[in-house]
Structure 1
Amino acid sequence: MLRVPEAPVGLSTAATYPQGAATAFEMAASLGYDGVEVMVWTDPVSQDIDQIEQLAERYGLPVLSVHAPCLLITQRVWSPDPTVRLTKSLEAARRLGASTVVVHPPFRWQREYARGFVELVDRLEDEFGIAVAVENMYPWRAAGREVAAYAPDWDPTDESYRHITLDLSHAAVAGQDSLVLSESIGDRLAHVHMTDGTGSARDEHLIP
């Protein structure tokens, strides 16, 4: 018999782009979501924890998770130092009552950050008591060639992380079977980005 775990379903503030975090809270409340994932990025409201707290209170929705600013376009949000950005994401999660922080593996050119990333994640989890769920990524493709853009790897199952985020769109880009990948993650699966993809070289984040 299949037993479906009682997992809360949140709406990401990224899902309402180009509208901001305020729209995500309003939409999540009107559609009956259990809460919100705050993607910290170029939207000024997403970077302002005071405003996020006010939105959560206004709409009666908890912040379930915080997505650290680790995209190419957010390399200077909060700090140019990726360790500081991740730490501030955990501070925000603790203040907002979120149980999970989502983070991507480092870019390969972030050499110092990448060198100590696995140990950093482990230490911050112990320090904050919050799951740092490292997200599966994918190889970049250009002109028929694959580029290793992430370190230590785009596939977090190869490392000793205690918690992993499974992004279904990213799995599609990587040519991975999401069900097989979820089985390989096992009980380390802490968070899922429920999106879709056609298997192209572009991260599509389609509606499931």
Structure 2
Amino acid sequence: MAALVGLSTASVYPESTAHAFGYAASLGYDAVEVMVGIDALSQQVAAVKQLSVHHEIPICAIHAPCLLITQRVWGTDPWEKLRRSAEMAHEVGADVVVVHPPFRWQKEYARDFVAGIADLEAETGIAFAVENMYPWRASKKRGLEVYLPGWDPSEETYANTTIDLSHAATAQSDPVAMAKRLRDRLRHLHLTDGMGSAKDEHLVPGRGNQPVAELLHHLADTGFAGHIVLEINTRRSGSTQARTDDLAASLEFARRHFVPAEQRNDRE
């Protein structure tokens, strides 16, 4: 099965979830990842399903509401949020739920997180792809560890994981090395870029200093068949046309570099 190249609804913020489906369909993306967030529409299974049907584009993943700004979306029980995310995934035909590791202050949730994720996967049949995060830091040198059991999913026993290249940039970690450690446990990719600053930048691929093309080459060469989802920040695009251009450039980058070595050599 070939990897799908999808668009995260977060990529069009502050425009809505509905706009994201429109962009994805018109630009030729294969699928959409729905970020369950403060946009009320993103929380409604029936509405999300109708958008998929209307635009004739599948939903590949649901991103659970685990950001600081979504702490009260779908209640405050983190396990209930994950169960509802799995229910939405089932209803809309997605096979992955993207989830962040717990914050350090969520001690009870964190204590059983690794085993709890495995139990949820067995119970729901949905892959819960735990995402790499990063230390919070005010400068390049000093960081605060805010995730438990840790920000690097390759150090745990998760069956399914997500690599986000902007998070890797902020953590100053090597995403290619992480992918090699994860091997077939890597199920999902948030394709983006960063400059290694303390800020989680989510740049258009190729506009930062991360080994984005190299990671896509590695995944193509090793038969990756998961999801490649563009999750970029277009809040400062300035206009609808500029946002469209950024989303189109991101898709073109993914298509150009996610090809195996023999095809890359043929182009040279």
Whether these two folds match at TM > 0.5 is yes
Alignment size in residue pairs: 204
Determine if the alignment matches structure 1 residue 42 to structure 2 residue 24: no
Query: Which of these two proteins has the greater Rg computed from alpha carbons?
Result: 2
Aligned with 1:201 (options 185, 198, 201): 198
| Corresponding residue SS for 1:150 | coil
Match of residue 121, structure 1, among 99, 110, 117:
117
Determine helix, strand or coil for the equivalent of 2:7: strand
For residues 67-105 of structure 1, the C-alpha deviation after alignment (integer angstroms, 9 at most, x for no partner) is 000000000001111111111101110111101000000
Matches within 5 A, 1:54-93: 54-93=50-89
Alignment partners' CA distance in 2, 1:170 and 1:116: 24
* Secondary structure, counterpart of 1:114 in structure 2: helix
Aligned partner letter, 1:75: Q
Given candidates 150, 154, 159, the residue that maps to 2:151 is: 154
What SS does structure 1 have at the residue aligned with 2:143? strand
The Cα offsets for residues 143-167 of structure 1, whole Å up to 9 and x where unpaired, read as 6531110001011111110000000
SS at match of 1:140: coil
**Among 186, 190, 210, which residue is 1:189 paired with?**
186
Distance in 2 (CA, whole Å) between partners of 1:104 and 1:76 is 15
Q: What's the counterpart of residue 110 of structure 1?
A: 106
1:12 and 2:22 matched:
no
1:179 Cα deviation after fit:
1.1
TM-score of the aligned structures, taking structure 2 as reference length: 0.75
Q: Deviations over 1:128-153 (max 9, x none)?
A: 11110000000011365311100010
**Larger relative contact order (Cα-Cα within 8 Å, sequence gap ≥ 6):** 2
Q: Does 1:167 align with 2:164?
A: yes
Deviations 1:167-197 (A, max 9, x none): 0110011111211111111110000000000
The residue identity in structure 2 corresponding to 1:125 is E
Structure-1 residue corresponding to 2:261 = none
Aligned counterparts of 1:197 and 1:32: Cα–Cα separation in 2 = 25
Task: Name whichever of 174-183 and 15-24 sits farther off.
Answer: 174-183
- Supply the distance in 1 between the matched residues of 2:182 and 2:196 (Cα, whole angstroms): 20
Residue in 1 aligned with 2:136?
A: 140
Structure 2 unaligned segments of length 5 or more: list them. 206-268
Q: Which amino acid aligns with 2:145?
A: A
Percent of residue pairs identical: 56
Q: What letter is aligned with 1:180? A: A
Q: Which runs of 5+ in 1 are unaligned?
A: none
Instruction: Tell me how far apart the structure 2 counterparts of residues 142 and 150 of structure 1 sit (CA, whole Å).
Output: 16
Q: TM-score if structure 1 supplies the norm length?
A: 0.96
Counterparts of 1:137 and 1:59, CA distance in 2: 32
Report the RMSD for the aligned CA atoms in angstroms: 1.0
